[in-house]
């Protein structure tokens, strides 16, 4: 059974870079059948798609974040990661990683999520 | 403002039927892209409830059903149960944004 687990600092200072890792177990990030995505949810608010990656070959980003976001895959560790630069308090959210069968499809399963707070 | 529009809240008594709407545009739902629905119980990650407009993953009760028409989609829940109290989100693909979009979410209260 595929499982995803987010990890990374829970507190990031304003203007710094947020870095998170999603570790995949029970499946491979190199699978040609799946894409891997990041979604976030500010406290008390709705879901916001950040971006999706396919096998280190293709990346798709939310236009509102494109200038600050980067998603990559580490095949040796079966992980994929998220980097978000120049963070502000508006980036405070629970960050989820998830698998998708396609860039135009849904997300399943999801990781449990990790709260990242941006504060000095 | 979310690209997909959902009512902020809906409610129903146990055993009743409720529907949650998701309104998009010609760039997403109206363009023929699939709609997914997610259930988010308090303090947990979203769970896929409906995919491809009207398909249920294994383990999802048939009390949950999805439909799509034009630029809108709907989630119907029949035989409401207390454990259905959660937030529900629709999601699709938007060609103008070249990415996934979510609705703002609907809080279901079981009276």
Asked if pLDDT for residue A56 goes beyond 80, the answer is no
A109 contacts on B by Cβ (under 8 Å)? 48
The Cα A108–Cα B50 span in angstroms is: 11
Which B residues, 28 through 87, put their C-beta within 8 Å of a C-beta on chain A?
Answer: 33-34, 36, 38, 44-48, 51, 57
**Model pLDDT for residues A96-114, shown as the tens digit of each residue:** 999 999 989 999 999 999 9
Token representation of residue A59: 């990346």
Q: Is B1 exposed, middle or buried (0-12, 13-18, 19+ CB in 10 A)?
A: exposed
Q: Are A105 and B34 in contact (CB < 8 Å)?
A: yes
Average pLDDT over residues B62-70: 97
Please provide the distance, in angstroms rounded to a whole number, between the alpha carbons at the two ends of chain B: 28
Give per-residue burial for B55-74: e unless 16+ CB within 10 Å, then b.
ebeeebeeebbbebeebbbb
pLDDT tier, B1 (very low <50, low <70, confident <90, very high otherwise): confident
**Model pLDDT for residues A6-54, shown as the tens digit of each residue:** 999 999 999 999 999 999 999 999 888 899 999 999 999 999 999 999 9
């Amino acid at each position: 059974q595929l499982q995803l687990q987010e990890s990374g600092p829970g507190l990031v200072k304003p203007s710094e870079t947020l870095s998170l890792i999603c570790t995949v177990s029970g499946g491979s990030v190199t699978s040609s059948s799946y894409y891997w995505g990041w979604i976030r949810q500010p406290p008390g608010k709705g879901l916001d798609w950040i971006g999706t990656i396919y096998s280190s070959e293709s990346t798709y980003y939310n236009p509102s974040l494109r200038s600050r976001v980067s998603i990559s895959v580490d095949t040796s560790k079966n992980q994929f990661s998220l980097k978000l630069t120049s963070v502000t308090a508006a980036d405070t959210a629970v960050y989820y990683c998830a698998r998708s069968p396609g860039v135009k499809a849904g997300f399943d399963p999801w990781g449990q999520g990790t709260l990242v707070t941006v504060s000095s | 403002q979310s690209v997909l529009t959902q009512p902020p809240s809906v409610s129903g008594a146990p055993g009743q039927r409720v529907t949650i709407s998701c309104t998009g545009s010609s760039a997403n739902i109206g363009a023929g892209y699939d709609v997914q629905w997610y259930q988010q119980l308090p303090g947990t990650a979203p769970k896929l409830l409906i995919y491809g407009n009207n398909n249920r993953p294994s383990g999802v009760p048939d009390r949950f059903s999805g439909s799509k028409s034009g630029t809108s989609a709907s989630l119907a829940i029949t035989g409401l149960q207390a454990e259905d109290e959660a937030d529900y989100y629709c999601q699709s693909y938007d060609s103008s944004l070249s990415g996934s979009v979510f609705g703002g979410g609907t809080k279901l209260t079981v009276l």
